[in-house]
Amino acid sequence: MTEEKDVFTIPRAAKYCAIHRVTLWRRVKSGELKAFHTPGGHFRILKEDLESFMREKGMLFPFHKYSNKKKILIVDDDPKIHKLLNKILFSNGYKVEVASDGFETGSKILKFKPDLMILDLFMPGMDGFEVCKRIKTNPGDSHIKILAITGFDTNENRNRIMQAGADGYLAKPVAKRTLLQNIEEIFEQ
């Protein structure tokens, strides 16, 4: 049986998604977002339908609703990687934020306070090696776990990032199961 907290009105659903209620209402009216009518003629949206819609659209979920979930910061300069990893991680119970380069990572760490970072090695500006080194040598951030990923898989790159303090290393492309297994193992360390 569906609980009352799992059924949203248009204004409550809009607030949950952090979009304007008129925008959300239009998505319902167009059929993009599944909803049903009450006997009084009002729209109601099931939580699972709303969250499915949000995942489809690549929307971030409200952090306060998932405070018991581990936080993962994706640091990569490829928007396709952001979208793919966000979808995989969120659907497996993680809170997710993204940063496009090493410099943006610093402000995301302060605001988001990630438990783990998925870090690309080669980005414009500050590369992943330098990001990892700075995080692991900063007493306030050194607890953050780092899983390095790269499309340039060499023994030299692997050794260099592990010496900089990374907790794990994977070569791109990464299979979903392998990614999730490595994340779980890192959290268990």
Contact by Cβ (8 Å): 75, 102: yes
106 in the same domain as 41? no
31 in the same domain as 81? no
89 in the same domain as 43? no
70 in the same domain as 92? yes
Counting the structural domains of the chain, the total is 2
What confidence score (pLDDT) does residue 123 get?
85
What confidence score (pLDDT) does residue 85 get?
93
- Report the alpha-carbon distance of residue 98 to residue 108 in Å, rounded: 8
What confidence score (pLDDT) does residue 66 get?
43
What confidence score (pLDDT) does residue 67 get?
45
161 in the same domain as 77? yes
* Predicted TM-score (pTM) of this structure: 0.64
* CATH code of residue 74: 3.40.50.2300
pLDDT in tens, the chain (189 residues): 455 668 889 988 888 877 888 888 899 999 999 999 888 888 899 988 888 888 887 776 654 444 458 999 999 999 999 899 998 998 888 999 999 887 789 889 988 999 999 999 988 888 899 999 999 999 889 999 999 999 999 999 999 999 999 999 999 988 999 999 999 999 887
What confidence score (pLDDT) does residue 179 get?
94
* CATH code of residue 28: 1.10.1660.10
What confidence score (pLDDT) does residue 164 get?
95
- Report the alpha-carbon distance of residue 155 to residue 124 in Å, rounded: 22
Domain of residue 33 covers 4-56
